[in-house]
Chain A
Amino acid sequence: MSESLQKNKLLVTAIKDGTVIDHITAAHALKIIRLLNLADHNKRVTVGLNLPSKTMGLKDLIKVEGRELTEEEIKRVAILAPEATINIIKNYQIAKKFHAEIPDVIEYVVVCPNPICITNNENMDSKFIVKKEKNNIKLKCWYCEKTFPQEEIRDYKNN
């Protein structure tokens, strides 16, 4: 433990095969783990919270051993942490590195922050239109038509 902490790069133990989700917007790693059920197996998952980052100030990071995220899961990561980088590790090496791309339409996952929105008053899926402006992302609720900056989304549903 103390040895790995000294190494800035491999902050936690190296994994042989799996996924490293890097550059997660600070405070979002635990939400991602919960939403994707990343800890729902007996493989090792290591999490770094509030790590210093040159580009982001602070970031979170998740390493999942023995699991390659599906496309669907990567989309969900992007919804919570649009700046995330996905690193697929094969045999200790980075086999693939890419950015999670937020979809143009999000049909689940996000809970509308408007309490008098129909999506919060009826058993139904939410739906948001994603508006990408320079470096901020806004979500417009398909139903109540309110627009929210990404940071204002507080709740996510696992559906």
Chain B
Amino acid sequence: MNFTNRDIIGISELTKTEILHILKIAKSLKQKPQPKILEHKVMGSCFFEPSTRTRLSFETAMERLGGKVVGFADPGVTSAKKGESLFDAIKIIGQYVDVIAMRHPIEGAARRAAEATDKPILNGGDGANQHPTQTLLDLFTIQECQKKLEGLSIALVGDLKYGRTTHSLAQALAHFNAKLYFVAPDSLQMPGYICDELKNNNIKFSIHQKIEEVINKVDIFYMTRIQGERFADPMEYERVKNVFVLNAKMLEKAKPNLKVMHPLPRVNEITTSVDKTPHAYYFEQAENGLYVREALLGLVLGKL
């Protein structure tokens, strides 16, 4: 397995063995910090679209390994505004830094960026396309709280049609023989091409409209936000909005090991009453983004 100089653009480019290796490294970094391994290395933090969590966790990950960070958090400050191509921008930044973490609103931007420079690109989200570090931190978190990845029952809930987070997670879970429950309003169910892929991989899944149908069966309840703008009919949104809310009372008969996850930010789809239950795990999940990003930085820079 050689990660040195590799671009991390999408989760599907990583084999099961590679994923497990990244998770192992992330775990060791969580247990034992390595504050010096990236000394004298510089990360370009190129955020062509605003993001707080992803950007800050990439940047702190680099700093915690002893590296330095340069970059921008808002494309308004770059020459992209003057019409410079992404290709030129990344080519030049690649001459200054050792690794680039980027987010861009346009789909395929990370792949394009990887063609512009020899330095490794870590994709922190390219529009609705890929966001592999999110999937890796999700897998890390599942493994951490369940002590295993194989054979778990996992509910993916909310906007399954447009949410790239749940698409990538479902695809990645196909490596680990999960039983999947897709809980969403009809109009926001998992796209057919993902279901076909899962069928081809012999992954069992079932379709549900209500949280109550699955909450007592699963090991992981992965909630995502349903956004009003996805609905042509505002009445439909009003109806659905209140059905897809998780509160503490609904967890009374859940399995003791059930953990609730969410990519955050949450608005009101998980009430704060859940925070105090032993099932809440979304803040730990967000923290884990740090270790997974540290692992990737160390790996692609050849230091881990």
Assess whether A21 is interfacial by the CB under 8 Å rule: no
B85 and A123 contact, CB distance less than 8 A: yes
Q: Please tell me if the beta carbons of A118 and B85 are within 8 angstroms of each other in the complex.
A: no
Q: How far is the CA of A116 from the CA of B111 in the complex (A)?
A: 14
Are B112 and A122 in contact, CB atoms less than 8 angstroms apart? yes
Q: Contact check: which of B10, B85, B86, B107 meets A117 at CB < 8 Å?
A: B107
Chain A residue nearest in CB terms to B112: A118
Q: List 12 A-B contacts (CB under 8 A).
A: A116-B127, A118-B112, A119-B108, A121-B106, A122-B112, A124-B85, A124-B87, A124-B112, A144-B108, A144-B127, A145-B108, A147-B193
Determine the residue in chain B with the shortest Cβ distance to A142: B111
Among residues 8 to 58 in chain A, which have CB atoms less than 8 Å away from a CB atom of chain B?
A: none
Chain A residues with Cβ below 8 Å from B133 are: none
A141 at interface (Cβ–Cβ under 8 A)? yes
Contact partners of A122 in chain B: CB under 8 A? 85-87, 112
A92 at interface by CB-CB < 8 Å: no
Q: Type the 1/0 row for A109-125, where 1 means its CB is closer than 8 Å to any CB of B.
A: 00000101111011110
Decide yes or no: A117 and B108 within 8 Å by CB, A124-B87, A144-B129 being known contacts: yes
Knowing A122-B85, A124-B87, A143-B111, say if A116 contacts B10 (CB, 8 Å). no
The interface residues of chain B lying within 8 Å CB-to-CB of A147 are: 193
Closest 10 CB pairs of A and B: A143-B108, A144-B107, A118-B108, A144-B108, A118-B112, A118-B106, A118-B109, A143-B111, A121-B106, A122-B85
Are B130 and A116 in contact (CB-based, < 8 A)? Answer: no
Q: Is the CB of B193 within 8 A of A145?
A: no
* Contact count A vs B, C-beta below 8 Å: 45
Query: Which residues from 199 to 246 on chain B have a C-beta closer than 8 Å to any C-beta of chain A?
Result: none
Complex-state Cα separation, A121 to B129, whole angstroms: 15
Indicate if the CB atoms of B106 and A145 lie closer than 8 Å.
Answer: no
Q: How far is the CA of A124 from the CA of B109 in the complex (A)?
A: 12
- List residues of A whose CB falls within 8 A of some B CB: 114, 116-119, 121-124, 141-147
Chain B: residues with CB nearer than 8 A to chain A? 10, 85-87, 105-109, 111-112, 126-130, 193
Give CA–CA (A142, B105) in the complex, Å: 17
Chain B residues whose C-beta falls within 8 Å of the C-beta of A114 in the assembled complex: 107
Per the bound structure, the CA–CA distance linking A117 and B110 in Å amounts to: 11
Q: How far is the CA of A143 from the CA of B126 in the complex (A)?
A: 10
Specify which of B10, B109, B128 lies most central, judged by the most chain A CB atoms within 10 Å of its CB.
B109
Closest to B10 in A: A145
Q: Is the CB of A116 within 8 A of B112?
A: no
Shortest Cβ distance from A141 into chain B, in angstroms? 7
Residues of chain A within 8 A (CB-CB) of B10 are 145
Is the beta-carbon distance between B193 and A118 smaller than 8 angstroms?
Answer: no
Q: Which B residues are in CB contact (< 8 Å) with A123? A: 85
The interface residues of chain B lying within 8 Å CB-to-CB of A144 are 107-108, 127, 129
A139 to chain B, nearest CB (A): 14
Which chain A residues lie closer than 8 Å to B193 at the CB level?
A: 147
Point out the residues of chain A lying under 8 angstroms from B85, CB to CB. Answer: 122-124
Interface centre among B106, B111, B128 (most CB of A within 10 A): B106
* Smallest beta-carbon distance A140→chain B, Å: 11
Chain B nearest CB, measured from A124 CB (Å): 7
Q: Are B129 and A145 in contact (CB under 8 A)?
A: yes
Contact of A145 among B86, B105, B107, B112 (CB under 8 A): B107
Closest residue on chain B to residue A112 by CB atoms: B108
| Complexed CA–CA distance, A147 and B129 (Å) | 12
**Which A residues lie within 8 Å of B127 (CB)?**
116, 144
Q: Tell me the bound Cα distance from A93 to B85 in angstroms.
A: 52
| Residue of A with least CB distance to B113 | A118
What's the Cα separation between A117 and B129 when bound, in Å?
Answer: 9
10 further A-B pairs in the complex, CB-CB below 8 A; given A116-B127, A145-B130: A117-B107, A118-B106, A122-B87, A142-B111, A143-B107, A143-B111, A144-B108, A145-B107, A146-B107, A147-B193
